[in-house]
Structure 1
Amino acid sequence: MPSQLPIVAVVGATATGKSDLGIALALALGGEIVNADASQFYRGMDIGTAKLTVEERRGVPHHLLDVLDVRDEANVAAYQRDARETIAQIRSRGTVPILVGGSGLYVRAALDDLRIPPTDPGTRARWEARLGEAGAAALHAQLVAADPAAAQQIPATNGRRIVRALEVIELTGEPFSATLPKREFLEPAVMLGLRIDRPVLHERIGMRIERMWRAGFLDEVRELDRHGLREGRTASRAIGYAQALRQLDGELAEGEAKAETATLTRKFARRQESWFGPDERIRWLSYDAPDLLDRALAAVRTADTPSGA
């Protein structure tokens, strides 16, 4: 019975086919999709995020898509609240929540025992100003001194995460590492990961980017620009959208915009692999297995759904 099945999460790197597997699972299990791709929160950001069209959703209800304006900032704490409420509502209807997306922190915010630390715009702005002045390596050295455990988990090149860690330490007086998520499900869940060889993934990324531009991606970005895309702290930095804006401004030729988008997407995919790879709860499946759906269904139906790893 659907009500007796665990929450299902389909995770992995970009361009591995998560959305298609999510739809197939929803149709087979009587499920509803809960989006866990941060870029797909935004209304109008469709082509550049590979958001499924209404027709491609095949009648499967989708939640937490198109919930933000491009000027809004995505917020993990708000997502955690909304995702858990949505999952509870799906459960109340006797159907299966199927979380789909590659934004690792958002997946864990929905499923795991994760405490979201506070934030303060002024404090964040001061640390971001220091980042601009001193660079990521210098701030990472400060993080090493303040919280060695957090510094070990955050790359010295990831300025945004370093700033967040230092912000939390300043606001709480506690180590940022104390707030890092535990791999413990709040309720029974099974995570399915799609695995793909890197050369094949790079080829798929390149093909996706070519399709984006052919499908009218620049027109999409022009329209979003009229609705305040450049004012959006998160949306304007999304891979592809930032490059398209620069192409529209004449800073990049089309080939350069595509190439930069491909390079950044490949790097993003490697970060996703690094995020999901160590999680021993994930049941990895080959993205192109001829019996992929059967394997996924078997994993869901036979899951012992441990609370953690």
Structure 2
Amino acid sequence: MSSNPLIVLCGPTASGKSAAALRLAEHMPVEIVSADSRQIYRGMDVGTAKPTTHEREAVPHHLIDVVDPDETFNAYRFSKLADKAISSIRTRGNTPIVVGGTGFYIKALLGDLPLGETPPDPEIRAKLLEQLETRGLDTLVKQLEAIDPNRAASIDANNPRRVLRALEIAIAQSKKVRSHNNRFKETKLQAHVFGLSVKPQTLRDRISVRVVKMYASGLLEEAASLRKSGYGNDLASMSGIGYREALACLDGTLSCDEASEQTIIRTRQYARRQRTWFRHQLSVQWLPAEDLAVAAKRLID
């Protein structure tokens, strides 16, 4: 590879991306830029599987703990902050490696998504909320799939808040396209894009193990602490996979076992959508997730 190339390591949740990046750091000077739409929230550690304190001390990590759970964050802001982090890493003579499963963040960074934030549109939102109440979530999901199948494949389709916002953005951006007002990054980043390929059953098993570990490691306590700090169920961050179920358990509407099982189901569904999205939206060189030593060697080569 050329001097200080940009490496992207993507793949579905629980595929071993962070472990592969840390293995790579044993052989070359790298710094990790997280491309995870949940790890950007402060105080949401257990439920987002953030790198441990030891791992973050061993290898510098960027774009983790960026905003509070009630702040908005999107692909546009990620791209801006990631650009700065990558430039800073290169000035130190290290290799930046973007690691994560949020495809829209990665695509925006590489210059393949329109620039500019999409502000909330009260008129569009009101119409969508009316549709949600009268026709149900499935109708909105189908509408999103018809307008922007890529965005539909990258979100949690069981989360009404995520679907509403994604559809609002898709409708607003489709209007921009029709008005020929779409702008992309002036210079697209050149990157080596790799992905970790996992056998479906292996990934399902890994997800189960991860979720059970999350609950055993204090996910319920973390959710309770966040709620006590004023972050309620109405926030998009708190309705994400794991936190919605944990809050339901705290409210008594789900048992702990039911919360864990529903978290596993939603995570598996999300992982399937991630696999589909990456295979269709990015030119990825796939590496064997079952053998991190082989994956790391391929990355180095």
**CA separation in 1, counterparts of 2:263 and 2:86?**
33
Instruction: Using the TM superposition, name which of 122-131 and 8-17 deviates more.
Output: 122-131
**CA separation in 2, counterparts of 1:283 and 1:232?**
39
CA contact (8 A) 1:10 1:99 kept: yes
Q: Which amino acid aligns with 2:264?
A: A
For 1:158-185, what per-residue CA distance to the aligned partner results, in whole angstroms no more than 9, with x for missing partners?
5443332123335x37279x96989x98
Q: Which amino acid aligns with 2:178?
A: E
CA contact (8 A) 1:136 1:162 kept: no
Q: 1:72 to 1:143 in 2, by over 3 A?
A: closer
CA contact (8 A) 2:29 2:94 kept: yes
Instruction: Using the TM superposition, name which of 210-219 and 49-58 deviates more.
Output: 49-58
**CA separation in 2, counterparts of 1:108 and 1:87?**
15
**CA separation in 2, counterparts of 1:78 and 1:267?**
27
CA contact (8 A) 2:78 2:105 kept: yes
SS in 2 for 1:49: coil
Percent of aligned pairs sharing the same letter: 35
SS in 2 for 1:41: coil
Match for residue 126 of structure 1?
126
CA contact (8 A) 2:6 2:192 kept: yes
Structure 1 segments of 4+ aligned residues over 4 angstroms from their partners: 136-144, 151-158, 178-182
Relative to the length of structure 2, the TM-score reads 0.85
Matched length: 290
Match for residue 26 of structure 1?
25
Residue correspondence of structure 1 range 81-160 to structure 2 within 5 A: 81-121=80-120, 122-133=122-133, 134-135=135-136, 138=139, 150-151=147-148, 153=150, 158=157, 159-160=163-164
For 1:207-257, what per-residue CA distance to the aligned partner results, in whole angstroms no more than 9, with x for missing partners?
111111111111111111112321663211210001000000001001110
CA contact (8 A) 1:42 1:70 kept: yes
Residue correspondence of structure 1 range 106-255 to structure 2 within 5 A: 106-121=105-120, 122-133=122-133, 134-135=135-136, 138=139, 150-151=147-148, 153=150, 158=157, 159-160=163-164, 161-170=166-175, 172=176, 174=178, 186-230=188-232, 233-255=235-257
Q: Which amino acid aligns with 1:199?
A: Q
**CA separation in 2, counterparts of 1:127 and 1:107?**
31
2:293 aligned with 1:294 = no
**CA separation in 2, counterparts of 1:292 and 1:154?**
28
Relative to the length of structure 1, the TM-score reads 0.83
CA contact (8 A) 1:72 1:232 kept: no
> Structure 2: 5+ residue runs without aligned partners?
158-162
> Structure 1: 5+ residue runs without aligned partners?
299-309
Match for residue 79 of structure 1?
78
CA contact (8 A) 2:4 2:93 kept: no
Match for residue 265 of structure 1?
267
**CA separation in 1, counterparts of 2:232 and 2:150?**
31
